[in-house]
A = this chain, B = another copy of it.
């Protein structure tokens, strides 16, 4: 195989980043087609990204016969539909997280994918490809901290993002689906266990408007794992220092922390404010390298015929837990995940 021919559905804020990576930075890939409902985005794809073929409808794009793979970076409520259509088009499929906001839709895609075992089908949990998270996983697998039994993980976003997020709550499914789905995946990845029971609380401590949408600006969950382990998961929309994704993995012989502080780089300043580090301001700034490595890995899997580590089951389980957390938050009691 010479180069993997890729089409992309969705060229929004994040879609554009995927497209740039595919076209310019990922080896053995070329972005041959892109579709979007927004004509400015298509112009951008054509003129800046030099994508030869652009489409206003995903059906049209999927009718091409030269595609090897499709990237779905559309809005969350369209993921399942686009995923199934892409599978039907006979291509490998990568979909941005979360796969869907309810377990049924996830399972529908899973079932569809099982009938096409030769097409890779994964949902992106980018943190697994971040060099720091990947290094931590390697250390854990090597036994550096004994048996991991407790994971603390948080997704903390900057307060300046909150107004934008407000518009986004309905389609994103709220904090548990949008933010914590990553933390849930990390808990499963590091412990090898699903989550059994959750108890979620939270509030709109700074931005009351989230409460009116049945959402919050800060949430906290305690998770009892199926294997007897435990997890504490936090999300926030109200940080002032930076985008602060942080995870701690505690094992029987040591512990690991990933991401503290959320430093922008290796520079430290000493001035009237003390000794300090500036922080990354967005999840993309934090995980830029992970996004590239994730995309390279999927392309490499196709080139090498190697099965991706992530499966649709990972996506279903993340949605299952996020759904239980959302219910627990609203019902103010513990909820069993299955």
* Complex Cα gap A107–B110 (Å): 58
Stretch at the interface among A30-38, A93-101, A177-185, A234-242: A234-242
* Complex Cα gap A146–B240 (Å): 11
A278 neighbours in B (Cβ, 8 Å): 274
- Taking a contact as CB atoms closer than 8 A, the residue among B131, B218, B275 that contacts A261 in the complex is B275
A332 to chain B, nearest CB (A): 8
- With A267-B132, A267-B139 as given contacts, are A250 and B199 in contact (CB-CB < 8 Å)? no
Residue in A236, A264, A276 whose Cβ sees the most chain B Cβ within 10 Å: A276
The answer to whether B272 touches A241, judged by C-beta atoms less than 8 angstroms apart, is: yes
Q: Is A164 an interface residue (CB 8 A)?
A: no
A227 to chain B, nearest CB (A): 10
Q: Which residue of B lies closest to A333 (CB)?
A: B334
Sample of 14 A–B contacts (CB below 8 Å): A199-B199, A203-B228, A218-B250, A220-B230, A232-B234, A240-B272, A241-B272, A241-B274, A256-B268, A257-B268, A258-B266, A269-B274, A275-B279, A276-B277
A169 neighbours in B (Cβ, 8 Å): none
Q: Which residue of B lies closest to A275 (CB)?
A: B261
A135 neighbours in B (Cβ, 8 Å): 264-265, 267
Interface string of A213-224 (1 = CB under 8 A from B): 000001011101
A234 neighbours in B (Cβ, 8 Å): 150, 152, 232
* Complex Cα gap A232–B205 (Å): 16
The answer to whether B269 touches A254, judged by C-beta atoms less than 8 angstroms apart, is: yes
Q: Which of A255-297 contact B (CB under 8 A)?
A: 255-279
- With A199-B334, A222-B222 as given contacts, are A239 and B205 in contact (CB-CB < 8 Å)? no
Give the interface of A toward B (CB within 8 A).
Answer: 24-25, 27, 131-132, 135-136, 139, 144-147, 149-150, 152, 197, 199, 201-203, 205-206, 218, 220-222, 224, 228-230, 232, 234, 236, 238-242, 244, 250, 252-279, 332-334
Residue in A131, A222, A275 whose Cβ sees the most chain B Cβ within 10 Å: A275
A261 to chain B, nearest CB (A): 4
Given contact pairs A240-B271, A275-B276, enumerate 18 new A-B contacts (beta carbons under 8 Å): A132-B266, A132-B267, A135-B265, A201-B224, A202-B230, A205-B228, A205-B252, A206-B252, A221-B222, A239-B255, A240-B253, A242-B270, A257-B268, A262-B275, A263-B275, A269-B274, A273-B274, A333-B334
Residue in A220, A244, A262 whose Cβ sees the most chain B Cβ within 10 Å: A220
The answer to whether B334 touches A271, judged by C-beta atoms less than 8 angstroms apart, is: no
* Complex Cα gap A135–B255 (Å): 25
The answer to whether A150 touches B265, judged by C-beta atoms less than 8 angstroms apart, is: no
